[in-house]
Structure 1
Amino acid sequence: MKIYWDRGLRLRVNGRKIGIDVKDPRDEDILLLSHAHSDHLPSKFRGRIICSNATREIINTISRRKIRENYSYLFEKGLEISMVDSGHILGSMSFLIRYKDYTLFYTGDFCDRERAFLQGMKIREFLEASEVDRVDTLVIESTYGSPYFIFPDFEDVVKEFRDWASENLSSGFNLVLLGYKVGKCQILSKITEGNFENVFVSEAVRRVNEVYEKRTDLKPLESIYAAANNGKLKEPFILICSPSSRKLLKLVERKFKVKKAIFTGFALDKSLKLLWGLDEAFPISDHADFKGLVKLVEELNPKRVLVTHGMSKRFASHLRSLGFNASPLSAKTIVSELFDS
């Protein structure tokens, strides 16, 4: 097996060419898609696609590139690929790859905490069901791979947000809540549900919400455009959208008195709201924090750890201080040739 990193993880095993979250598929005949965020999606879909049904549905909703068929596992000639809910967003998956006596676990983006309708990743239960005691290689994300990023309890942050929102709505402000259109905006839709009136979303968020409504208990929210056209847009209101909805944000800020808040783990950095010109920032993240990252490594106790996506050098250094054989993945890195495939 050959493992190397080049705009995604690429494996050569048993005559198969496997790409995991690769940006530019080349000669791969199997593509593993961990979730539906654009920074993890390939420029084209080719070969056998392994992902969850929810990931396929979200991709087909937000992208011009469509997935016609997807698979949830692969088992052939000693090569086995299975997946487990990573807890990041709806449909997100981590992958366990086994070949002969060798095991590789790829986390992708993951979260070990429950938030709204999402469960945290249950890695121990999955490994026990898979009859795996220890993995040979762990490939782990490190978005929050610094001890600085230890998140407060989700429900505590939700209460803080609701208090802030109630105070500002009572003062006549309209609120703009900012987060990724896939994942974060659906959590924002949920935590406002039943607590506030006149909650609207951008059209892009509404389309993604529809996928979540089929698979969770999230209730429908009307797009702000539809509300404006049918006379239902009343102040004070809450708008949930992505920071990339620039035209909508300019229009709303020009016509209404607003306050803006963003929801991200980087809100622990108090300078964030100043740099972004925001009124508030709340530390709600769809990733594991530093403690969650370390806990996963300790639970898996891998023989080798490869760190990617984020603070990879810093987190790998910390893991080495704990006694793990850890190294960061960088562009076009050939990790190893473990054995002849």
Structure 2
Amino acid sequence: MTEDGIFGDLGITPFRRRVSSGRPAPHLSLRFDSHLFSIDTSRSPKGSVQPDAYLITHAHSDHYGKSAMISPEAVASRETARALEIRHGRRYEGRTFPVGGSILVDDLEVVTYSTGHTIGSVAFGWETDLGVRVLVTGDVKNYENLPKCDLLVTEANYGDPWDPACRFEDDIVGFGDAVDAGSTFGAYAFGKAQRAVSLIRALGCKDPIGMDGKSLALTRELLPGFGPFSPAEENGTDLNVVTPWELSTIRSKRKYVLTGRSDLPFAQIRISDHLDFKGLMRMVERISPKAALVYHPEGRRANMMAHHLRELGMASISVSEIEDSF
């Protein structure tokens, strides 16, 4: 099925911006009615076509908020905006909203929904002049708050149905055992570190948690009341949450990386911020779109998820298959 066949009746055209090398810029933009929205992408250079809004679903670097955050057309949750400021040491120049709130872009109401991926992560939803309901999810851990839609623009971090690594369950039991034993956990400073702290407190542990500087700053800002915390090097216990790159600097008998990756020299405990393949398919079934555009990441997994959805009878393409550019 061609791109025109999928989107023509919906009155929506997906685009990718070309950079100076001729390669496509990250992710995509959607043109509909009189609007152009750029989704999780870097800023357009001066002199080129400018969008009405840069929709930033969350503050992870592969969603390009570092670039978009200095545009007055940036749109992000309050927590995402603050996380971007802490992570990148620059002022967020766009507009913000509370998670679950709405915001006007020109005369169009854009409603937001929590996705549970990181603190402040949201999906964006709106309805076009033709009555087409569009939902852009970003990355998703919990889809319970997401509404039904006609066009779903979503992730495929674990969307390849033929890759065994895309099917998993979080090892909460193993994580709890490691917490009880007093362990040091490697977790990305934004997102995974806060999930680890939330789980530690949910398990009933009230001990101080040692953290590296960036993880500590983000966690204190985004999880007020979840202390006590201390800098990892000053922590008197073995319970620490630091970035994976700092695990080797911490004196601890038990070290784990909270990841599904296999290229780090430490034992792993699976704690993911994403839905696995089965979860993604349950999400699609619940949302029941007429068409889907799989935009993150680019490459094999997005391609395979779009292919799988087509095999199930749904109109679907991946971001790599977008032909139009500007």
Query: TM-score by structure 1 length?
Result: 0.75
Question: Over aligned residues, Cα RMSD in angstroms?
Answer: 2.5
State the 1:210 CA deviation: 1.2
Residues 1-341 of structure 1 mapped to structure 2, 5 A cutoff? 1-5=12-16, 6-26=25-45, 27-42=50-65, 43-44=67-68, 45-72=70-97, 73-74=103-104, 76-77=106-107, 79-100=108-129, 101-112=131-142, 121-123=144-146, 127=147, 135-147=149-161, 148=164, 149-152=166-169, 154=170, 157-167=171-181, 169=182, 175-193=183-201, 194-195=204-205, 197=207, 199-214=209-224, 217-225=225-233, 227=234, 233-234=235-236, 236-243=237-244, 246=245, 248-252=246-250, 256-264=251-259, 266=260, 272=262, 275-278=263-266, 280-310=267-297, 311-330=301-320, 333-334=323-324
How far apart, in 2, do the equivalents of 1:209 and 1:185 lie?
A: 8
- The aligned amino acid for 2:86 is T
Aligned length: 286
Residue 208 of structure 2 contacts residue 229 of structure 2 at CA under 8 Å; is this kept in 1?
no
Q: Which has the higher contact order (CA 8 A, sep 6+)?
A: 1
CA–CA separation in structure 2 for the residues paired with 1:177 and 1:284: 11
Contact 1:30/1:46 (8 A) holds in 2: no
**Which runs of structure 1 show a deviation greater than 4 angstroms over 4 or more consecutive aligned residues?**
none
How far apart, in 2, do the equivalents of 1:87 and 1:257 lie?
Answer: 31
Q: Distance in 2 between matches of 1:106 and 1:49?
A: 15
Matched residue SS, 1:11: strand
Instruction: Work out whether residues 32 and 51 of structure 1, in 8 Å CA contact, stay in contact via their aligned partners in 2.
Output: yes
* Aligned 8 A contact 2:72 2:95 in 1: no
Residues 319 and 46 (structure 1 numbering): CA distance in 2 closer, same or farther, change over 3 Å?
A: same
How far did residue 305 of structure 1 move?
A: 1.0
Identity within the alignment, %: 25
Are the equivalent residues in 2 in contact too, given 1:86–1:107 (CA < 8 A)? Answer: yes
Q: Unaligned stretches of 5+ in structure 1? A: 113-119, 128-133, 170-174, 228-232, 336-341
- Cα offset, 1:206, TM superposition: 0.6
Q: CA deviation at 1:164?
A: 3.6
> What displacement does 1:110 show?
0.9
Letter in 2 for 1:106: V
Separation in 1 of the partners of 2:248 and 2:270?
A: 25
Q: 1:326 to 1:14 in 2, by over 3 A?
A: closer
Matched-pair contact (CA < 8 Å) for 1:210–1:220? no
> Would the alpha carbon gap of residues 11 and 47 (structure 1) be closer, same or farther in structure 2, given more than 3 Å must change?
farther
SS at match of 1:94: strand
8 Å contact from structure 1 (residues 181, 241) kept in 2: yes
Using the alignment, how far apart are the partners of 1:327 and 1:90 within structure 2?
29
1:62 & 1:121 partners in 2: Cα distance? 29
The verdict on how the C-alpha distance between 1:276 and 1:219 changes in structure 2, with shifts beyond 3 A counting, is same
- Structure 2: give runs of 5+ residues left out of the alignment: 1-11, 17-24, 98-102
Query: In the alignment, is the contact (CA less than 8 A) between 2:160 and 2:302 conserved in 1?
Result: no
CA contact (8 A) 1:96 1:106 kept: yes
Q: Could you state the TM-score of these two structures normalised by the residue count of structure 2?
A: 0.78
Q: Is the 8 A contact 1:28 1:47 kept in 2?
A: no
Question: SS at 1:55's partner residue?
Answer: helix
Q: Deviations over 1:283-317 (max 9, x none)?
A: 21111111211112112222211112241112112
Distance 2:105 2:296 in 1: 28
Counterparts of 2:241 and 2:159, CA distance in 1 = 28
| 1:116 alignment partner in structure 2 | none
